[in-house]
Structure 1
Amino acid sequence: MDAAVLKKVALFEGLTQGQLAKVAQIGHSRTYPAGAFLFREGETGQEMFVIAEGKVRISKSVPGIGEEALAILEPGQYFGEMAVIEDSPRSADAIAHVSCSVWVIERSRLDQLMFTDKDLAYVLLWTFVRTLSERLRETNEKIKGFFALSRF
């Protein structure tokens, strides 16, 4: 993925051209057919993903109900970033909703880049914080909705 495309990804929009060029060097492309798992809930993760083409469904398996789709992500969106921040298992499944091409960033390569470029690390980490905060807020709203429905 080149720097011009990366600039359009919310995670990287605060980076300079030079920093974008560095990020472009650490990732690689991967494709998945429709229905393929990019990762499963509970697995250990060491990579994050940016969607280049297609769509990816983030979902959880709910006992007695089946798959509950949490989000359908489109080109330019990123996911799996918790795996590059912490060592916890994946919190959901990521499934190719349609055939897709993703750009993969390995934790070790991102760690190395952030260690050598503190300004880049600062921008990325604050963007991660905002993303995780937004997702937590959305989850809280879904939980409120669930409890409101369960009272009937």
Structure 2
Amino acid sequence: MPDAETRSGELDVLGKSTLEILAQIDLFKDVPPTHLRRVVDIGVEEQYKGSATIFGEGSPGDKFYLIVEGAVRISRFVPGMGEEALAVLRAGAYFGEMSLIDDAPRSATAVCHERCRLFVVHRKDLEDLLFVDRDLAYELLWNWVRTLSRRLRATNDKMTFLATTSKF
């Protein structure tokens, strides 16, 4: 849970607005500023203390997060090994986007590595926006399909590498 009240409005990280940061990440690349402004308008800021859990693996997901300030550790529980850190994400990175697309439980745990400010978009708010703005819906969904396709290809490459280099 956030350790401070959530609030709406434009955020700033290193002199860049939320709009400028969104425009630079692959999910929102090439989306016109007027459309991105609508995404910024539905988002809120959440603040967390260091070591606070944002969400747990297996929990329901309904939010997308953009790190404005701080760092977030993404990890999974591996039976027999415990927690396995997958990544430490910093300002400008995002996570939780898969929960905006499907109703599956969270695939990993997100914990603040240090104090964090996050720009958060709730699934319901985004769905409502995309329902009334079909052009924005097309642009965003097409970007997300390309992003997921790139990730799948990268995963396939890693799996091929692991399969061909491991000794049985």
For the aligned pair, the TM-score class normalised by the smaller chain equals 0.7 to 0.9
Structure 1 partner of 2:76? 60
Structure 1 partner of 2:120? 104
Extract unaligned runs of 5+ from structure 1.
Answer: none
Query: Partner amino acid for 1:134?
Result: R
Q: How many angstroms does 1:26 deviate by?
A: 0.3
Structure 1 partner of 2:4? none
Structure 1 residues 61, 139: CA separation in 2 closer, same or farther (over 3 Å shift)?
farther
Structure 2 partner of 1:116? 132
Whether 1:95 and 2:141 are equivalent positions in the alignment is: no
Q: Is the 8 A contact 1:59 1:69 kept in 2?
A: yes
1:76-87 equivalences under 5 Å are 76-87=92-103
Whether 1:127 and 2:139 are equivalent positions in the alignment is: no
Q: Is the 8 A contact 1:51 1:74 kept in 2?
A: yes
The percent of aligned pairs where both chains have the same amino acid is 47
Q: How many angstroms does 1:144 deviate by?
A: 4.8
1:13-92 equivalences under 5 Å are 13-92=29-108
TM-score by length of 1: 0.87
Structure 1 residues 39, 72: CA separation in 2 closer, same or farther (over 3 Å shift)?
same
Extract unaligned runs of 5+ from structure 2.
Answer: 1-10, 12-17
Supply the distance in 2 between the matched residues of 1:69 and 1:58 (Cα, whole angstroms): 6
Q: Greater share of helix residues, 1 or 2? A: 1
